Structure 1
């Protein structure tokens, strides 16, 4: 099997007022956001020509996206082969949540950690963000 997690794809957290939070982070920390949040661009360590992104996004406190977790945050990890990884994790007894979803910017799958945090796994296609 290839590498499992290759980096952090995003940090997502719940907040009372996502727009107010984006404004505060922009004013005080310089994180520019659109409707989804901010993107940090960086270069792949093994392929310096490849541009990659890490997302930062505040969600409404009542979002269902983190479900079935009731935790206040969710990590998104970049992975190399989502289908293979989810099969291996399931065989190891890890709880897989939902079905794989595919978009122009990559494939997504979800698992639960032992303390009930939902973890998003992303096999990225970086080009659409850049």
Structure 2
């Protein structure tokens, strides 16, 4: 196979510069111009879902899922910034890890995923 990973995530935004700044300030994703975001190696799912999925709002075609290393610290920082985050213990399992969800300023759903610690 010729594909070695995800090369970029591109989507429309009403305020691209403002949204890019929000992602960088609160999640550390992206940056200025076309400088690539150097992400850590790790698992990435490519998962088309049924058209009627209830995992994210019906009016949205996609949801971003970011792999994180310290979900609690990230959630504390988001709370300090006044960003609403949803958690649900039912989402978390020892096999899959821990999850939290929030929306960016344009209503795009973001899922934060802390993979399980491997023994």
Q: Which runs of 4+ in 1 moved over 2 A?
A: 97-101
RMSD: 2.5
TM-score norm. by structure 2 comes to 0.56
What secondary structure sits across from 2:43 in the alignment? strand
Identify which of structures 1 and 2 has the higher relative contact order when contacts are C-alpha pairs closer than 8 Å and 6+ apart: 1
Q: Are 1:71 and 2:60 counterparts?
A: yes
2:89 is equivalent to residue 89 of structure 1: no
1:125 Cα deviation after fit: 2.4
Q: 2:96 aligns with which of 85, 95, 105?
A: 105
Q: Which secondary structure does the structure 2 equivalent of 1:77 belong to?
A: strand
The alignment covers a number of residue pairs equal to: 79
Unmatched 5+ stretches in structure 2: 1-5, 10-39
2:50 match = 60
Task: Report if aligned partners of 1:111, 1:118 keep a CA contact under 8 Å in 2.
Answer: yes
| Greater per-residue strand proportion | 1
Q: Which residue does the alignment assign to 1:29?
A: none
Alpha-carbon distance in structure 1 between the residues aligned to 2:61 and 2:86: 18
Please report the TM-score for the alignment, with normalisation by the length of structure 1: 0.52
**Offset, 1:126:** 7.1
